[in-house]
């Protein structure tokens, strides 16, 4: 230990302490590079939240993924894709949309999450994974969005 000019004790890092900090930094940087190369939000916080990493060109298509539900009360509603709603975030659905298209039974988890979190609300009996596409021309919306049903699931009770 040494003393500073004000007479307070100063603790210096040992070579092992310095080495440990360098090792932690190298591992953290390696995890960030891995997440960036894989371009997957599944690696968060060791990877980019890619939906915020780009701007939209003036002439582009903007896709918006949502889940629509028919309830046991006979109404059609958009499923709130957040932790408080169905227990799953929109980013998770978007990241797994290809898997859901191949196996629509994955939507059962959305219905189960809704029923568990909202036992007093109407239950979902049918779910549809939908992609709404908005076309931009010269930076302006060109017509209404088009919708495409990507997957349908009849909910098991």
Strand 76-78 to 9-10 pairing? unpaired
What pLDDT shows up at residue 2? 54
What pLDDT shows up at residue 32? 75
Backbone angles phi, psi at 65, to 5 degrees: -95, 135
Q: pLDDT tens-digit profile of 10-43? A: 888 899 989 999 999 999 888 777 776 765 666 6
Q: How confident is the model at residue 102 (pLDDT cuts 50, 70, 90)?
A: very high
Strand 140-141 to 124-137 pairing? antiparallel
What pLDDT shows up at residue 7? 63
pTM over 0.85: no
Percentage of residues in the chain having pLDDT higher than 90: 52
């Amino acid at each position: 230990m040494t003393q500073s000019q004000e007479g307070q004790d100063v603790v210096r890092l040992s070579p092992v302490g310095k080495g440990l900090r360098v090792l932690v930094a190298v591992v953290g940087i390696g995890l960030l590079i891995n997440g960036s190369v894989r371009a997957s939000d599944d690696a968060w916080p060791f990877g980019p939240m890619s939906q915020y990493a780009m701007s939209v060109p003036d002439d582009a298509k903007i896709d918006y993924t949502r889940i629509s539900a028919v309830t046991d009360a006979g109404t059609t509603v958009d499923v709130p894709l957040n932790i408080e709603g169905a227990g799953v975030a929109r980013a998770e659905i978007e990241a797994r949309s290809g898997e859901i298209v191949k196996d629509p039974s994955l939507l059962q988890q959305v219905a189960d999450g809704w029923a568990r979190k909202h036992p007093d609300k109407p239950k979902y009996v049918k779910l549809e994974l939908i992609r709404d596409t908005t076309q931009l021309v010269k930076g302006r919306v060109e017509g209404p969005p088009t919708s495409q049903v990507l997957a349908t699931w009849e909910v098991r009770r």
